[in-house]
A and B are shown apart, each in its own frame.
Chain A
């Protein structure tokens, strides 16, 4: 439990910087260029729940107890997602983007920060309904191997199924969501034909480089956790990974406009944050 005086002091900002540096040096997880308020909030919550008295003490624990590091990693990461999240995004994909991709003999898509995979299967269903799945390969990456394990299984609980069905309909779904999965008790499993078109693998946007050259990149609600510097890095990485006139789809409250590479992209749909790559960045 942290005391109130400590909360009021500048010390906690210094201690958090040191903690993030320690995590990076010891484990290679680089949170140094993440937005700070979110991390700070999570760190303080962890302190309140534990019998640790200060962030400096927490740093000692992180360095000496790898199990504790795992807890911190779970605290820091955000894996909130759902099928057809923001249905309007998928509707725009269906109407305005897939007709463009359809002109290619084969399609490569990179879904960066795919979390537990719900949105990857959503895209696969969309591709299936537009007759493009068989010529598409989706590379779905995340830096967290735990969520990738979930994604690979293609199994989800039925808890949110009603919401998923509603989203699917709003996204312009042509059939029923239940056409695409098998339900067993409280679990749904998506048809193996989707899984076959998806390659899941670990990739860290903060530290890794160009993954592969693709026609479209989807990366939603990941950039919001990064500071401007890191956003610039990642947007450049996306630019370098896209073919000419490749498509970039990001979260509805994210933007590339204010990044150093804003000029390198053009809106396809401003409200849905879908962009097309214009030209090479002048180095």
Chain B
């Protein structure tokens, strides 16, 4: 069984509620750091981060460049920057061209995270009206990471998860409310295994 080390989540239209549902239901000792990209306006003050921090057991923060990626944290891409994951498990930021009309773009974070973490990563694509994230899911899949999409039927806007399903044979298609319990189970197994090893 794979030892996962990172979760990446992408969301667009309708993402605030979907992210709240997931982040508020994850265990306090959830084992994997989370990198999240929510499409926001370039001049947004990123109130989203503070809002979700209130509801989550984990530390929800805006990612900073060169920051080390640690467990018990959820790192959000800052508005108007792409968030990239480095091989040494730190972040970098760029203001390069928009991808899929978006900066931050989900594809940019997913692709770089996949290249850095290879098979030790879980990618989750949620509600949205964009095509962003589909190529990122493809890269995750290619590198043997786990791919999960929100079941489009439970998404407030189904376009984005559907685009990923059309491009990749994803590993799991889960209703929104089942995503956090599923992740918790993986994380607890991980913790149990660590104890046995330790």
List A residues at the B interface (Cβ < 8 Å): 4, 7-8, 12-13, 35-38, 40-41, 44, 78, 80, 221, 224-225, 228, 251, 253-255, 258
Contacts and interface: CB of A to CB of B under 8 A. Distances in A.
Given A8-B118, A35-B84, A224 B93 contact: yes
Contact of A38 (B66, B84, B116): B84
A13 B88 CA distance: 12
Nearest to A163: B42
Given A36-B87, A224-B65, A7 B142 contact: yes
Given A80-B96, A253-B78, A4 B65 contact: no
Question: In this complex, which of B87, B94, B116, B142 has the most chain A Cβ atoms within 10 angstroms of its Cβ?
Answer: B94
Interface stretch (B16-24, B53-61, B107-115): B107-115
Contacts of B93: 224, 253
17 contacts: A4-B143, A7-B139, A37-B87, A37-B112, A38-B96, A40-B115, A41-B108, A41-B111, A41-B115, A44-B115, A78-B96, A78-B97, A80-B97, A224-B92, A224-B94, A251-B95, A255-B64
A208 to B, nearest CB: 23
Contacts of A13: 87
5 A-B pairs with the lowest CB-CB distances in the bound complex, closest first: A37-B84, A35-B92, A37-B112, A78-B96, A224-B93
Interface in B45-91: 64-66, 78, 81, 84-87
Contact of B112 (A40, A228, A253): A40
A8 B144 contact: yes
B69 to A, nearest CB: 12
Given A13-B87, A36-B87, A8 B92 contact: no
Contact of A78 (B84, B94, B115, B119): B94
Contacts of A7: 115, 139, 142-143
B112 A258 contact: no
A253 B65 contact: yes
A225 B81 CA distance: 12
Interface residues of B, number: 26
A36 B86 contact: yes
B160 to A, nearest CB: 21
Main secondary structure of the interface of A (DSSP, over half): helix
A268 B93 CA distance: 24
Contacts of B65: 224, 253-254
Contacts of B144: 8
Interface in B3-39: none
B115 A38 contact: no
A37 B92 contact: yes
Contacts of B97: 78, 80
Contact of B95 (A8, A12, A80): A80
Contacts of B66: 228, 258
A12 B115 CA distance: 10
Contacts of B92: 35, 37-38, 224-225
A119 to B, nearest CB: 12
Contact of B115 (A37, A224, A253): A37
A258 B65 CA distance: 11
Nearest to B139: A7
Contacts of B143: 4, 7-8
Interface string B93-127: 11111000000000010011001101100000000
Given A225-B94, A253-B81, A254-B65, A37 B116 contact: yes
A2 to B, nearest CB: 11
